[in-house]
Amino acid sequence: MSNRDARLPERLAGVRDRLPDEESFTSPLHSTRTAAILGIALGIAFTTCFLTGLVSHAHQHPPSWFALPSRPAGLYRISQSLHVATGIASIPLLLAKLWTVFPLFWKRPAVAGVAHALERLSLIPLVAGSVFLLFTGTINIAYWYSPMTFFFTAGHYWAAWLTIGALIVHVSAKSSITRLALSARAPDAVVPAGAGLGRRGFLATIAATAGALTLATVGQTIGPLRRLSVLAPRLPDRGPQGYPVNRAFSAAGIAAEDVDAGRFTLTVDGNVAEPLRLTLEDLRQLPQYETTLPIQCVEGWSYSARWRGVRVRDLLAQAGADQGAQATVESLQRGGIYRTSPLNRDQAHDRDTLLALELDGEPLALDHGFPLRLIAPNRPGVQQTKWINKVVVS
């Protein structure tokens, strides 16, 4: 053994002595009580975000055992606005929580028994999953796609299950210490006068940050707050005909002659007695209905508008489809996963499921889907397909 090797254990011990331990972090804000309060806030936000995320996933990947209802018409708007808002509010909460509990990562012994080891191991998926979800959600609504080398919805969805599983383990492991920390009898850390923020001040700062972030984005869906929404990527009153657009006509790869009013035709075929082929003039001659419905983008922004057009159920009846028929609506757009949109029985037969020709009393702008777009109650914006030229009945 060389001299250097002989000194190795000694040198390692030296390094260990220089590492911080739990006591090195002296701020009284690293208290169990602060961690417990932030943990509860984060638990509520994450659970709401998870459940509303499942709703959105179910709309876009309809399960075979459950048909999503077409009512209440504005339900998806509430659910998805909550999803995005709770996700955004979770960012400062998570950062504050990680900062508060950070000294515990240096606690010795690092492992004290099997249960403790498992509880600590579950922190890896919990922290990594939370950071991943909030990061991918944020860059998705900010249209910053380059770091996303995977399909966003699949990655975000599976990470959510992993994170919620780890959260359940974490909450079970911490429930008694949380209860104790919040009980009136628990001694609270005392902040000496002049020593900086106290616990109340710290929590108020975090709450104010979460509130400010919410206000700076929630105007994308709550119209009267739009002036405050400096961080919202889309505003409900900016765009052609006064409404925002995600996929512009120029980005959809559709030839101008395909949407020429004189040449355009809509076909209704598939499982029908009598396939239909209708020109724009034919469609205008059919009974027209008007409805006020929201477009709620999965990214959080939304607006409500007055739509006028032909009922899908009337077209199905005219083509001689079954009472229980379902349908897929197809766009002139050539590629992309959002060029088709499925309607289950309920959705296809709802009186407000329209192929709209007009928005607020005017023909649709090209960017809003001229000549025809789908508009139906209680569904994500990605399923309100534009530039429709085909309905396939099944």
Ligand X SMILES: Nc1nc2c(c(=O)[nH]1)N[C@H]1C(S)=C(S)[C@@H](COP(=O)(O)O)O[C@H]1N2
Q: Which stretch binds ligand X (CB under 6 A): 32-40, 60-68, 206-214, 238-246?
A: 238-246
Q: Is 297 in the site for ligand X (CB under 6 A)?
A: yes
Shortest CB 122 distance to ligand X, Å:
35
Q: Which residue has the tokens 């059919």?
A: 286
Q: How far is CA 333 from CA 143, 208, 379, 383, in A?
A: 21, 44, 20, 14
At 73, phi and psi to the nearest 5? -60, -35
Q: Which of 245, 266, 310, 329 binds ligand X (CB under 6 A)?
A: 245
Question: Between residues 311 and 386, which has the closer beta carbon with respect to ligand X?
Answer: 386
Site string for ligand X, 303-342 (x = CB under 6 A): ----------------------------x-x--x-xx---
Q: Which stretch binds Mo ion (CB under 5 A): 87-95, 219-227, 341-349, 379-387?
A: 379-387
Shortest CB 67 distance to ligand X, Å:
22
Q: Within a 10 A sphere around the Cβ of 276, how many other Cβ atoms?
A: 17
Helices (H), the chain: 3-6, 8-18, 32-60, 75-101, 114-121, 123-141, 152-182, 199-218, 280-285, 312-318, 345-349
DSSP 155-180: HHHHHHHHHHHHHHHHHHHHHHHHHH
Q: Which option in ligand X, Mo ion, none does residue 387 bind, with CB closer than 5 to 8 A by kind?
A: ligand X
**Rounded Cα gap, residues 314 and 323, in angstroms:** 11
Kind plus residue range of the DSSP H or E element containing 15: helix 8-18
Q: Within a 10 A sphere around the Cβ of 218, how many other Cβ atoms?
A: 21
**Rounded Cα gap, residues 372 and 363, in angstroms:** 9
At 277, phi and psi to the nearest 5? -135, 110
Q: Is 381 in the site for Mo ion (CB under 5 A)?
A: yes
User: Token pair for residue 228?
Assistant: 């405050």
Shortest CB 375 distance to ligand X, Å:
9
Question: Between residues 14 and 336, which has the closer beta carbon with respect to ligand X?
Answer: 336
Q: Which of 244, 300, 371, 377 binds ligand X (CB under 6 A)?
A: 244
Q: Which of 384, 389, 391, 393 binds ligand X (CB under 6 A)?
A: 384
Shortest CB 380 distance to Mo ion, Å:
7
Q: Is 368 in the site for ligand X (CB under 6 A)?
A: yes
Q: Is 264 in the site for ligand X (CB under 6 A)?
A: no
Question: Which residues in 284-303 contact Mo ion (CB under 5 A)?
Answer: 297
**Rounded Cα gap, residues 346 and 329, in angstroms:** 15
Residue pair 286/292 in contact by the 8 Å Cβ criterion: no
Q: Which stretch binds Mo ion (CB under 5 A): 22-30, 91-99, 341-349, 381-389?
A: 381-389
Residues in the chain: 394
Q: Which option in Mo ion, ligand X, none does residue 243 bind, with CB closer than 5 to 8 A by kind?
A: ligand X
Q: Is 79 in the site for ligand X (CB under 6 A)?
A: no
Q: Which option in Mo ion, ligand X, none does residue 247 bind, with CB closer than 5 to 8 A by kind?
A: ligand X
Helices (H), 28-122: 32-60, 75-101, 114-121
Query: Contact positions toward ligand X, by CB under 6 A?
Result: 243-247, 252, 295, 297, 331, 333, 336, 338-339, 368-369, 381-382, 384-387
Q: Which residues bind Mo ion (CB under 5 A)?
A: 246, 297, 381-382
